[in-house]
Amino acid sequence: MAKKERKYRLALLEDRTLREVFHLHLDALGAFSVLTVAFILLIAILSALIVYTPVRNILPGYNESMRQRIIEESSRVDSLQTSLAMQREYLDMIKQLTAGDIKPDSMQSLDSMQIVQRTKLLEERSEATDEFVASYEQREKNQLSLFDETLNTHPVQTLFRPVQGVVMQQPDFSRHEYGVRLRVAKNGNVLSVLRGTIVYAERDLDNLYDVVVQHRQYVSVYHHVGIVFRGVGTEVQAGESLGLMDGENDLLFELWKGGKPVNPVEVIVF
């Protein structure tokens, strides 16, 4: 005699009257199929919530990308605010000229006004300022001679490596390729190889930064930097962070001395 197959009944009852609203007859295979479909739908709904809603921001691994995006957007907002302020001043000046509140001969452009103000500040130098400049120059000359002696004795240990990375391609001066290409991890720190002053930090055509640092004897150039922490004119120390990499591009690092390119691999231990 064949064993009778078990059946299962899934029913929905109204709470107050206990009247059956819906029922479903299932065998073992049907119950397993229903549970499997319900589990897959639950996984799909949770995945959609994580991908398309702000819930993903509370999960590990998403905060770093959000932080980087906030920094980039903040820098753009600062640039827009500066541009809007200059345009607002220009429009106010046009309104005053149209209303006849100021004479045309007394007008100056915003750039000219800034140049005049800077010129006045530079020309107003006191005796104390001259004494300080003279003592500073003498002190720097003494330090420069000591630095030259140390550099000639220990050329490799003096320069910091610009990033924690792997050398992918060395420079080829015959083909006018002056930089060493370094593979860097995402959000890797870009460091100044020596003490110096940032003389250039602007975006390139790929919306990444090119940074140039002037040192006593060297000039270091950093291409494809994702985020820059320091602006032009900022003095940085050896090993100080200049910015972060975006993780999608390699760092192209150049080193120049006396107007001639130097192979960074020969003076820096990577």
pLDDT: is 116 or 166 the higher one? 166
Q: Could you read off the pLDDT of 5-38 as tens digits, one per residue?
A: 677 777 788 888 888 887 777 777 777 888 898 8
Q: What is the pLDDT of residue 148?
A: 52
What own/partner pairs with CB < 8 Å and gap ≥ 24 does 65-73 have? Answer: 68/187, 68/226, 68/227, 68/244, 68/246, 71/227, 72/227
In DSSP terms, which residues pair with 243 in a beta bridge? 190, 228
Q: What is the pLDDT of residues 50-108, one digit of tens each?
A: 778 777 766 666 655 666 777 778 778 877 888 888 888 888 877 777 776 655 454 44
Q: Mind listing the pLDDT tens digit for each residue in 120-134?
A: 666 665 666 677 777
| 200, 238 Cβ separation under 8 angstroms | no
Total residue length of the chain: 270
Assess contact for 263 and 180: CB atoms under 8 A. yes
Residue where the block lists tokens 């330090």: 143
| Model pLDDT, residue 14 | 84
Q: Using an 8 Å Cβ cutoff, are 27 and 7 in contact?
A: yes
Q: What is the pLDDT of residue 107?
A: 46
Q: DSSP letters along the chain, please?
A: -PPPPP-EEEEEE-TTT--EEEEEEE-HHHHHHHHHHHHHHHHHHHHHHHHHSGGGGGSTTSHHHHHHHHHHHHHHHHHHHHHHHHHHHHHHHHHHHHHTSS-GGG---HHHHHHHHHHHHHH---HHHHHHHHHHHHHHHHHHHHHHHHHHH-HHHHSPPSSSEEEEE--BGGGTB-EEEEEE-TTPEEE-SSSEEEEEEEE-TTS-EEEEEE-SSEEEEEEEESEE-S-TT-EE-TT-EEEE--SSS-EEEEEEETTEEE-HHHHS--
What sign for the dihedral angle of Cα 202, 187, 252, 164? positive
CATH of domain 157-267: 2.70.70.10
pLDDT band at 156 (very low <50, low <70, confident <90, very high): very low
Please give the radius of gyration of the chain, using alpha carbons only, rounded to the nearest integer. 33
* Tens-digit pLDDT profile for residues 212-260: 999 988 999 999 998 898 889 999 999 899 999 887 788 999 999 988 9
Per-residue model confidence (pLDDT) at position 5: 65
Name which of 245, 232, 237, 230 is nearest 163 in CA terms: 245
Q: For residue 116, what pLDDT band results from cuts at 50, 70 and 90?
A: low
Residue 230 has φ and ψ, to the nearest 5°, of -120, 145
* Cα–Cα distance, 195 to 213 (Å, whole number): 9
The larger pLDDT score, comparing residue 145 to residue 245, is at 245
154: confidence class by pLDDT, cuts 50, 70, 90: very low
**How many whole angstroms separate alpha carbon 7 and alpha carbon 204?**
71
- pLDDT score for 221: 94
Q: Between 78 and 166, whose confidence is greater?
A: 166
Q: Is the pTM here over 0.85, yes or no? A: no
Note the pLDDT of residue 23: 76
In the chain, domain spans: 8-56, 157-267
More confident residue, 154 or 119: 119
